[in-house]
């Protein structure tokens, strides 16, 4: 990536290239997109591209990083959410599924690129690390409060349970597994909570029983 002081016009041009790159990678994946495709979408010349990015790889890395940042921000459970730990896990799962829905194609493109190029593999791990740290911090806080199994390793727990949610998001939203959002969030939350030894509130157990009877 080329870092330089930009004029207002330069910032607009760079933003246009990022938008065009996002659209192209979303539609066609990584391998088949050419720099000329991105330039045509952005309405700039081939040479102009290299004023802002030194390669297609650097453009894709920034596009993917921005998308992951959007997902992280969109899935933050803010102070307005209930203080109850179970309710906050539920809120986090709901927000994550919605954030994945908005970014699933690009995330799958990054995963595909990561299998063929170690640079993207490292990038994917770096981007996922922010989610892992957040999950591990949450598990650690619950352990300190005596609400979660103290024998669990917080980081490994966050990696494993976060992987469960991410994989389900892919199967549900990308591959068409049939479930409504409420059922999906409910099951993910119960599995997450019980895995760490967090007891769901009685109201949640009652709601879950109704869902199971209706299934």
102's enclosing H/E stretch is helix 85-116
Structure confidence by residue, pLDDT tens digits, 4-40: 577 989 999 999 999 999 999 999 999 999 999 999 9
Instruction: Report residue 81's pLDDT band, with 50, 70 and 90 as the boundaries.
Output: confident
CB atoms < 10 A from the CB of 57, how many?
16
Whether residue 52 contacts residue 13, with contact meaning beta carbons closer than 8 Å, is answered with yes
Average pLDDT, the chain: 89
**Residues 115 and 52: beta-carbon distance below 8 Å:** no
- Beta-carbon count within 10 A of 13 CB: 19
pLDDT tens for residues 121-178?
988 898 889 999 999 999 999 999 999 999 999 999 999 999 999 999 999 988 999 9
Q: What is the pLDDT at residue 207?
A: 47
Which residue is it, tokens 């068409």? 176
pLDDT at 204 over 80: no
Higher pLDDT residue, 203 or 87? 87
pTM, entire model: 0.79
Give the domains, in start order, of the chain with CATH numbers. Answer: 1-54 (1.10.10.60), 61-204 (1.10.357.10)
Q: Is the separation of the CB atoms in 189 and 86 below 8 Å?
A: yes
3-state percent helix, strand, coil for the chain, nearest multiple of 5:
75, 0, 25
| Tens of pLDDT, residues 83-130 | 899 999 999 999 999 999 988 889 889 988 999 889 899 888 988 899
Specify the pLDDT at position 46.
93
């Amino acid at each position: 990536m080329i870092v330089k002081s930009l004029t207002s016009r330069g910032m607009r041009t760079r933003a246009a290239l990022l938008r065009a790159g996002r659209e192209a990678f979303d539609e066609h994946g990584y391998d088949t997109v050419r720099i000329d495709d991105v330039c045509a979408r952005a309405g700039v010349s081939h040479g102009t591209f290299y004023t802002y990015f030194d390669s297609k790889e650097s453009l894709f890395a920034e596009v993917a990083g921005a998308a992951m940042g959007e997902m992280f921000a969109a899935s933050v459970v803010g102070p307005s959410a209930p203080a109850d730990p179970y309710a906050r896990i539920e809120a986090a799962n709901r927000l994550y599924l919605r954030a994945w829905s908005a970014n699933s194609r690009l995330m799958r493109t990054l995963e595909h690129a990561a299998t063929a190029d170690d640079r993207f593999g490292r990038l994917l791990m770096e981007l996922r690390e922010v989610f892992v740290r957040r999950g591990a911090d949450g598990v650690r806080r619950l352990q300190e409060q005596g609400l979660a199994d103290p024998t669990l390793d917080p980081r490994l727990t966050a990696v494993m349970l976060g992987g469960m949610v991410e994989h389900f998001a892919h199967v549900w939203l990308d591959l068409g597994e049939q479930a409504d959002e409420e059922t999906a969030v409910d099951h993910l939350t119960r599995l997450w909570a019980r895995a760490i030894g967090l007891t769901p509130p009685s109201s949640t157990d009652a709601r879950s029983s109704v869902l199971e009877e209706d299934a």
